[in-house]
């Protein structure tokens, strides 16, 4: 089945800096890669996603890039703000026998210092 590895586990940045979180996946048939943000005491919420036929997607200060050859994808947050502090999870949706199953990475705790 799919295996998703996420790095780093913690990330600390100053307000206004950029933050990058990276994930690798194992299943070359995976075709959907969402990113979820979990604020303290809340459930995860989808912030951006990318499908395997696209290399990059942007939504205001957030962007995701996908390298299918290397089987990795990254979340980029520019001009970080204190409200970006949260736990971020990447995920991959498997193909083949794992079709439809979403496998999550281990999570990254992002702290943005004012």
Partner 1 sequence: EAQVTQNPRYLITVTGKKLTVTCSQNMNHEYMSWYRQDPGLGLRQIYYSMNVEVTDKGDVPEGYKVSRKEKRNFPLILESPSPNQTSLYFCASRPQGSGELFFGEGSRLTVL
Task: Indicate the residue among 46 and 58 with the shorter CB distance to partner 1.
Answer: 46
Report the C-alpha gap between 97 and 56 in whole angstroms: 27
Residue 10 binds partner 1 (CB under 8 A): no
Q: Are 98 and 110 in contact (CB under 8 A)?
A: no
Q: Are 111 and 13 in contact (CB under 8 A)?
A: yes
Site for partner 1 in 37-96 (CB under 8 A): 41-46, 49, 89, 93
Q: How many CB atoms lie within 10 A of CB 24?
A: 18
Residue 107 binds partner 1 (CB under 8 A): yes
**Total of residues contacting partner 1 (CB under 8 A):** 21
Binding site for partner 1 (CB under 8 A): 6, 9, 32, 34, 36, 41-46, 49, 89, 93, 101-107
């Amino acid at each position: 089945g799919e295996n998703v590895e996420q790095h780093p586990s913690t990330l600390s940045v100053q307000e206004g800096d950029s933050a990058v979180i990276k994930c690798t996946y194992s299943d070359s048939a995976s075709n959907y890669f969402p990113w979820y943000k979990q604020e303290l005491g809340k459930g995860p919420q989808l912030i951006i996603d990318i499908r395997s036929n696209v290399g990059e997607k942007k939504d205001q200060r957030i962007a995701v890039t996908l390298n299918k050859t290397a089987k990795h994808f990254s979340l980029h947050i520019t001009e970080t703000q204190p409200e970006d502090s949260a736990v971020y999870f990447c995920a991959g949706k498997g193909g083949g026998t794992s079709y439809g199953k979403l496998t999550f990475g281990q999570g990254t705790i992002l702290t943005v210092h004012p």
